Amino acid sequence: MISKNEIKYIQSLCHKKQRQQDNIFIAEGTKIIEELLNSCYNVKKIYATNDWMSKNTPTKVQVIEVSEQEMSRLSSLQTPSSVLAIVETNSSENLVIKGKINVVLDGIQDPGNFGTIIRIADWFGIENIFCSEDTVNVYNNKVIQSSMGSFVRVNIWYGNIETIIHKSSLPVFGAVLNGKNIDEQPNIEEGFLIIGNEGNGIRTNMLPYITYPITIPKKGGAESLNAAVATGILLSKLVK
């Protein structure tokens, strides 16, 4: 049996302020919980229905059985999963940048886009994503869900991305409309790839840092590409 106060607290973790205050976030779904249990993240508590508990027996985490009705109150999903975890956040400091391709997100606002970008980065072996301070919070539940667990393998850093790039000598690739055709760009072994805001692109203060402006050639009538889709196409061309 789960108390009303516990339900209220878990529901409060849908808000960024509460997550940051307690350094706690929630994750839902069998796949994501499995990824977390096999990662360096500290899973503090698991709430699960009998169906999940009958197939899983984690030994180092407290598991509380809840009914499907209780799970529907805990979950932020339209169709609740059979398992939800309370997890301690991780901090990414002193990241190794040199010798790696690093993704930089300049004001990405859509949680689904960000989660998918994390998943794409994981697919291409990208270890670091640097985010401007106004990029959507990585522990937003929609980001976690969209990443399908890939967030456990990608370092997410928030701060002044201009300073990070300014201090580095690595080449900087920026996705812009008037850049060089990405099909003509050779593979790279290190550098930054800047992806701009869904509606406004890369901010003007970041443009002078771009040493290699690149673009995906357009053949049809679409006005623009989804930020996550563009990231996938660009990394498929850049990663050696």
Q: Where are the alpha helices (DSSP H) in the chain?
A: 4-12, 16-22, 30-37, 50-53, 68-74, 111-123, 141-147, 161-167, 227-238
CATH numbers and ranges of domains, the chain? 4-88 (3.30.1330.30), 101-238 (3.40.1280.10)
pLDDT by 10-residue block (mean), the chain, 240 residues: 90 94 96 95 95 88 94 92 96 88 97 98 98 97 96 96 95 93 95 94 96 94 90 95
CA distance linking residue 23 with residue 90, whole number of Å: 8
pLDDT at 55: 92
Output the pTM of the full model.
Answer: 0.94
pLDDT at 223: 82
pLDDT at 184: 94
Q: Cα-atom radius of gyration of the chain, to the nearest Å?
A: 20
| Cβ contacts of 49 within 8 Å, gap of 6 or more | 65, 66, 67, 68, 71, 82, 83
CA distances from 209 to 33, 39, 51, 95, 202 (A): 39, 35, 53, 20, 11
